[in-house]
Structure 1
């Protein structure tokens, strides 16, 4: 099997050496070369033609954001950003993912992270996952995001979907009570910020439901994501706060490092945040959110699983379906950056719709 060729772009010689050592330990990966800044990186991409690039955000001469723009224009390739966990670092990283970066790694302790070993497995997993992403998909989706900045308000006409985009489950809504209260639950991971922008910016201000979101991200990054989506959307988007009563027309994003659970308080639903053990390596976990929502009575749930590695959300979806009336939507393989989570959800046979990302908001509104 041909090895995955990786180019490491970082201004720190120590970080270049450390990342090289980590990647070289994996028999699936070979380090094709290193570069000390964005300019050097662009040159090396043309020479070495790597399968994946790791790109530091903060560098002299040409920083990661400026370099990424040129990479996507001149020699597009799957890119994983390495970022500090500061608020500025989080904002820059989200911007990079809009430009076309596949994913990011948050350095545990700033620019030169002596404890980078803490995210070694995450780095290896993301490099391997990024190597399978088609460049055409990256370019198409990063371009499509630009069209979501102005929210689309017309939901009066729902066009029928192509048969091949439907799952094996019937789309019958005979048991679906349009007068019953609805709760929207969204789970996503790799490629999620782009997917969420496609969906959240198309939901109308007067949507008759609250939205709970789990996006796999560390602290600070979820706050920046909520702020960005809020500025682009008709609905309110915020980072969830422990104990708050959820409101219709508001999307609540689980803070990085905390599980988000829904809890009944009288006729209301309150947010519960906790730092219990990660589930399959994730905190927040989509499974935890779905499982908690399965205990909420008198609500019908709309579950959405979008792009991401692994199978988070699969077990929770099964529990949701076994304990109440749900409609479930999965992002299609065609638009997923990584088709792991949607594929696992589809395999449960509880998915009602398989949709390209640009159609997911419309399908949510059909059920709300």
Structure 2
């Protein structure tokens, strides 16, 4: 098989050389060209049709985020961002993941040989995962097309093979028809003991329209020049100054502040725990946009990400979500109306506290399965909370982190388990592992998971 074609984009000639050399250590990839800025990258991608691209975040003329936006409109393909560790670079990287980048790595320090080796391994792993995901999705789409185009009289309609479940639970109709209301979710008996915390009053957040809603491009992307495409995609984007001063409805201006000290009084009985990896930032945006501000359970999230980036992720998600989204801190008491992002470099556990109900415990124990934070570690901590109604979710990501502990929770009688379906996953790894273990009660496309959670938690105020 011919090697996959790669274009490397970076304004530094030295970094272009380093990244190209790292990539070509694996015979599965061949660097066919390089570009010095985003504009040149768009031109070369449209003309050379590579299989995958590595893209620097901060560049002159057209930066990586701007170029990515154009590429995803004109010629979508896997793009891996190379990010610096400064605050601006981290913010732009989070936006790039949200805009469709496959994943990112931090730029290597040329002063440390070990760091270069680590970056090489991570980069090649991501590139292989991107190509595998692309090919798997193409096969899945081909099978779907065959199924849709098959004449009705040619054969009896086949029933999809669902995973064998330890306990019978109906899959919701949401998996079949977006917007349809499904049957009653399985409920476990009411706990003997409530978790007592304080939920501060907050105004209802305004429902946000999705970015780009109502705008459709009528022309075929391939019929237009790079300049026309670039202008069309970027003309409606806010300027840097507008972005700093304009806040969408439902942002932190309308939300309570969160402090590590926590609060006291009012009860909640339920908790949602979410795990994701590759493709997670974009998936989390969709999920958290769909959960209402008065959702009666805290949401705790493990997203595989290095230190510092998780803070930028939480800040970014907070601008979209009706919930208040924060990076978790040691000793934070959990409250309804909040979503907590596990900080990079720390395992996050949920532990009981006599005076404040449940709280966050951060540890620097060894990575589990190569991850810290680990979804399995967070899920495992929920095993010690049988009086709490627990709702466990696995979304897009490489590998199998979270599946093993989801299985243990399922067998222990957890209230509900959700997995993102292959239809919407960037990488169908973590959810697939859970489905294969037979511990998923609801398999849903991404855009229906929030509605499924609202139903399972029993808010009763959301219609879908």
Q: Does 1:261 align with 2:349?
A: yes
Tell whether 2:416 aligns with 1:327: yes
Distance, in Å, in 1 between the alignment partners of 2:422 and 2:112 is 35
For residues 365 and 26 of structure 2, the distance between their equivalents in structure 1, rounded to whole angstroms, comes to 31
CA distance in 2, matches of 1:231, 1:207: 17
Preserved contact between residue 186 and residue 415 of structure 2 (Cα < 8 Å): no
Q: Report Cα offsets for 1:274-321 as digits up to 9, x if no partner.
A: 111111111111011001111123112111000011111111112222
Answering whether residue 184 of structure 2 is matched by residue 186 of structure 1, we say: no
Structure with the higher fraction of residues in strand conformation: 1
Q: 1:117 to 1:174 in 2, by over 3 A?
A: closer
Deviation at 1:21, TM superposition (A): 1.5
Query: How far is the alpha carbon of 1:239 from its aligned partner?
Result: 0.5
- Checking the alignment, whether the CA contact within 8 Å between 2:163 and 2:436 is kept in structure 1 is no
Tell me the CA shift for residue 17 of structure 1. 1.3
Q: Does the C-alpha gap of structure 1 residues 294 and 283 become closer, same or farther in structure 2, counting only changes over 3 Å?
A: same
Q: CA RMSD in A?
A: 2.4
3-state SS of 2:404 partner: helix
- 3-state SS in 1 of match to 2:452: helix
> 1:167, 1:353 within 8 Å by CA — same for their partners in 2?
no
CA distance in 2, matches of 1:86, 1:366: 41
1:174 Cα deviation from its structure 2 partner? 5.6
Q: State the 1:222 CA deviation.
A: 0.9
Superposed counterparts of 1:210-229, under 5 Å: 210-229=298-317
**What does residue 149 of structure 1 align with?**
none
1:293 counterpart residue number: 382
CA offsets per residue over residues 2-47 of structure 1, 9 Å max, x none? 3221111111111111111211111322222222221221222123
- In the alignment, the residues of structure 2 paired with residue 268 and residue 165 of structure 1 have an alpha-carbon distance, to the nearest angstrom, of 41
Question: Once superposed, which parts of structure 1, at least 4 consecutive aligned residues long, lie more than 6 Å away?
Answer: none
For residues 352 and 165 of structure 1, the distance between their equivalents in structure 2, rounded to whole angstroms, comes to 14
Tell me the TM-score normalized by structure 1. 0.87
* 1:42-191 correspondence runs (5 A): 42-109=42-109, 115-134=115-134, 167-169=163-165, 170-171=168-169, 176-177=188-189, 181-191=269-279
Contact 2:37 2:62 in 1 (8 A): yes
Task: Check the 8 A contact 1:4/1:51 in 2, yes or no.
Answer: yes
Residues 41/174 of structure 1: CA separation in 2 closer, same or farther (3 Å cut): closer
**Bigger radius of gyration among the two:** 2
CA distance in 1, matches of 2:276, 2:285: 12
Give the deviation of 1:323 after TM superposition: 3.2
SS at match of 2:443: strand
* In 2: Cα distance, 1:176 partner to 1:297 partner: 11
In structure 1, C-alpha distance between the alignment counterparts of 2:345 and 2:26, rounded to whole Å:
27
Q: SS of the counterpart of 1:278? A: coil
Deviation (angstroms), 1:167: 4.8
| Alignment partner of 1:3 is 2:91 | no
**Helix, strand or coil at the partner of 1:131:** helix
Question: 1:365 matched to which residue of 2?
Answer: 454
Give the SS at the match of 2:41: helix
**2:220 is matched with which residue?**
none
Does structure 2 conserve the Cα–Cα contact (< 8 Å) formed by 1:55 and 1:64?
A: yes
Q: How many residues align?
A: 343
Over 3 Å counting, the alpha-carbon distance change for 1:292 and 1:43 in structure 2 is same
The question of 1:38 aligning with 2:38 is answered yes
- CA shift for structure 1 position 175: 5.3
Cα distance per residue 1:118-166 (max 9 Å; x no partner) = 322111111111224449x89xxxxxxxxxxxxxxxxxxxxxxxx8596
Give, in whole Å, the separation in 1 of the partners of 2:338 and 2:160. Answer: 33
The CA distance in 2 between the partners of 1:16 and 1:178, in whole Å, is 59
- Secondary structure of 2:385's match? coil
The offset of 1:75, in angstroms, is 2.3
Deviation at 1:237, TM superposition (A): 0.9
Query: What CA deviation, in whole Å up to 9, does each residue of 1:200-222 have, x standing for no partner?
Result: 11111111111110001112211
Give the TM-score normalised by the residue count of structure 2: 0.69
Structure 2 distance, partners of 1:269, 1:61, is 49
Separation in 2, partners of 1:232, 1:39 = 29
- Mark the CA change 1:272 to 1:252 in structure 2 (over 3 Å): closer, same or farther: same
Deviations 1:309-359 (A, max 9, x none): 111111111222233423110001010000011111111101001100000
Residue 354 of structure 1 aligns to a residue whose secondary structure is strand
Q: Determine if contact 1:199/1:361 at 8 Å carries over to the other structure.
A: yes
